[in-house]
């Protein structure tokens, strides 16, 4: 074996591996030591090796003998993380009872302010370097609240990261008052914005049909009642898409629909405005069609 082979073995393991696991693959300890000396591998803590392109958060968490957790792990799993204003701060899970002193790369005592620490019991065995999706979701619920949890959960369901048994398990591990969120979550939410919108309007007793195909218009994000279309635009609605959106709105209007077009900043940062617009439209019965549309 060689340093090259040691680096390759860590790469094959997904960019992070324990010494024991590498030894099984035939990697010699001396080659790992050489690879670290040549900065081709990092050893954020005793017995764990990562490629140098590992995220700073992963290295930070490993240096505490922990794993990335909560919103940090959520981003890593590809979940939708709501209004991530402190994306710089690593959320780190350590086993209850572990001291959070960094053990390898930063020998100075940790003051406890570098990371947000989570010390919950593992839900399933954490992966090396990050907690599993279910544990991550429970942490987001406790750390960021119900809306962030719900949006992250729907994105996990959509991506197939939480299956039906996983959903049952998750339900058991959240407080009783939050279980309805697990039941209410759908597997087909197109974006976190949609999740948020549906959850917030549900609290007003307003039901949204999502991803509704309308002949001559196309698939719209939501319809309230018979004919009030709500579109939740992401970043991709500029340029030619902007024109397409206007054409859709006009085609919908010709069929008797009314479109309310919202975007990320409005839904996340200016909810009172969105809420009053939707409630006013519903109050004026703009969601009820006199044309008796039968879509
Ligand atoms: Zn957290
Ligand atoms: Zn830290």
- Domain 192-283 part of CATH 2.30.30.100: no
Q: Say how many C-beta atoms besides its own lie within 10 A of residue 260's C-beta.
A: 17
Query: Beta strands 115-118 and 208-214: pairing type?
Result: unpaired
* Closest of 240, 229, 242 to residue 277, by C-alpha: 229
Question: What was the pLDDT predicted at 238?
Answer: 66
CA 177 to chain centre: 22
* Closest of 126, 114, 186, 199 to residue 156, by C-alpha: 186
Give the ligand whose atoms come closest to the C-alpha of residue 139.
1
User: pLDDT by residue (tens digit) across 132-168?
Assistant: 999 999 999 999 999 999 999 999 999 999 999 999 9
Question: What was the pLDDT predicted at 193?
Answer: 82
User: Is residue 251 pLDDT above 60, yes or no?
Assistant: yes
If you average pLDDT over residues 200-205, what whole number do you get? Answer: 92
**CA 212 to centroid of ligand 1, rounded, Å:** 35
Question: What was the pLDDT predicted at 191?
Answer: 82
User: Is residue 189 pLDDT above 50, yes or no?
Assistant: yes
**CA 202 to centroid of ligand 2, rounded, Å:** 38
CA 294 to chain centre: 36
**CA 199 to centroid of ligand 1, rounded, Å:** 22
Could you tell me the CA-to-CA distances from 49 to 45, 114, 273 in Å, in that order?
8, 22, 50
Question: What was the pLDDT predicted at 105?
Answer: 38
If you average pLDDT over residues 217-233, what whole number do you get? Answer: 89
Residue 244: band (very low, low, confident or very high) from pLDDT cuts 50, 70, 90: confident
When the pLDDT of each residue in the chain is averaged and rounded to a whole number, the result is 87
**CA 155 to centroid of ligand 1, rounded, Å:** 18
Residues, CB-to-ion distance under 5 Å, ligand 1: 70, 91, 116, 143
- Cα–Cα distance, 201 to 244 (Å, whole number): 27
Those residues with Cβ within 8 angstroms of residue 2's Cβ, 6 or more apart along the chain or in another chain: 31
Those residues with Cβ within 8 angstroms of residue 180's Cβ, 6 or more apart along the chain or in another chain: none
**CA 64 to centroid of ligand 2, rounded, Å:** 7
Tokens of 99: 């001291």
Question: What was the pLDDT predicted at 209?
Answer: 87
- Assign residue 256 a region: left if phi > 0, alpha if psi is -120 to 50, beta otherwise? left
User: Is residue 217 pLDDT above 60, yes or no?
Assistant: yes
Asked if 222 contacts 208 with a C-beta cutoff of 8 angstroms, the reply is yes
**CA 145 to centroid of ligand 2, rounded, Å:** 22
Average the pLDDT over each of 52-61, 91-100, 158-167, 186-195 and give the range with the smallest value. 91-100
Residue 201: band (very low, low, confident or very high) from pLDDT cuts 50, 70, 90: very high
Where helices occur in 13-100 by DSSP H, the ranges are: 19-24, 29-37, 56-63, 70-77
CA 22 to chain centre: 31
Average the pLDDT over each of 158-162, 237-241, 263-267 and give the range with the smallest value. 237-241
If you average pLDDT over residues 248-275, what whole number do you get? Answer: 90
- The domain segmentation of the chain, as residue ranges, is 3-53, 58-184, 192-283
Residues, CB-to-ion distance under 5 Å, ligand 2: 60, 114-115
- Cα–Cα distance, 166 to 263 (Å, whole number): 32
User: Is residue 21 pLDDT above 80, yes or no?
Assistant: yes
**Positive or negative: CA dihedral 199, 203, 204, 206:** positive
User: pLDDT by residue (tens digit) across 84-134?
Assistant: 677 788 999 998 776 665 543 343 444 546 899 999 988 877 788 999 999
**CA 116 to centroid of ligand 2, rounded, Å:** 8
User: Is residue 248 pLDDT above 70, yes or no?
Assistant: yes
């Amino acid at each position: 074996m060689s340093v090259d082979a040691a680096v390759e073995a860590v790469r094959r393991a997904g960019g992070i591996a324990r010494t024991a696991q590498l030894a099984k693959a035939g990697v010699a300890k001396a080659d790992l030591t050489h690879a670290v000396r040549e900065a081709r591998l990092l050893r954020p803590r005793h017995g764990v090796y990562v490629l140098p392109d590992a995220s700073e958060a992963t290295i930070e968490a490993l240096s505490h003998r922990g794993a990335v957790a909560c919103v940090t792990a959520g981003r890593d799993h590809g979940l939708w993380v709501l209004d991530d204003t402190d994306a710089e701060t690593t959320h780190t899970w350590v086993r209850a009872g572990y001291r959070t002193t960094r053990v390898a790369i930063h020998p100075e005592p940790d003051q406890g302010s570098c990371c947000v620490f989570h010390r919950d019991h593992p839900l399933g065995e954490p992966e090396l370097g990050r907690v599993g999706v279910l544990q991550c979701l429970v942490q987001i619920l406790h750390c960021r609240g119900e809306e962030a949890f719900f949006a992250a959960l729907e994105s996990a369901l959509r991506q197939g990261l939480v299956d039906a048994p996983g959903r049952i398990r998750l339900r058991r591990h959240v407080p009783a008052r939050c279980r309805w969120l697990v039941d209410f979550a759908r597997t087909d939410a197109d974006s976190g914005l949609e999740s948020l919108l549906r959850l917030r309007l549900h609290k007003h007793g307003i039901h949204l049909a999502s991803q509704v195909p309308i002949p001559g218009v196309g698939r719209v994000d939501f319809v309230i009642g018979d004919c009030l279309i709500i579109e939740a635009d992401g970043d991709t609605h500029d340029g030619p898409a902007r024109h397409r959106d206007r054409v859709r709105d006009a085609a919908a209007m010709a069929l008797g629909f009314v479109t309310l077009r919202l975007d990320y900043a409005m839904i996340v940062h200016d909810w009172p405005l969105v809420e009053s617009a939707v409630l006013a439209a519903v109050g004026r019965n703009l969601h009820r069609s006199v044309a008796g549309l039968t879509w």
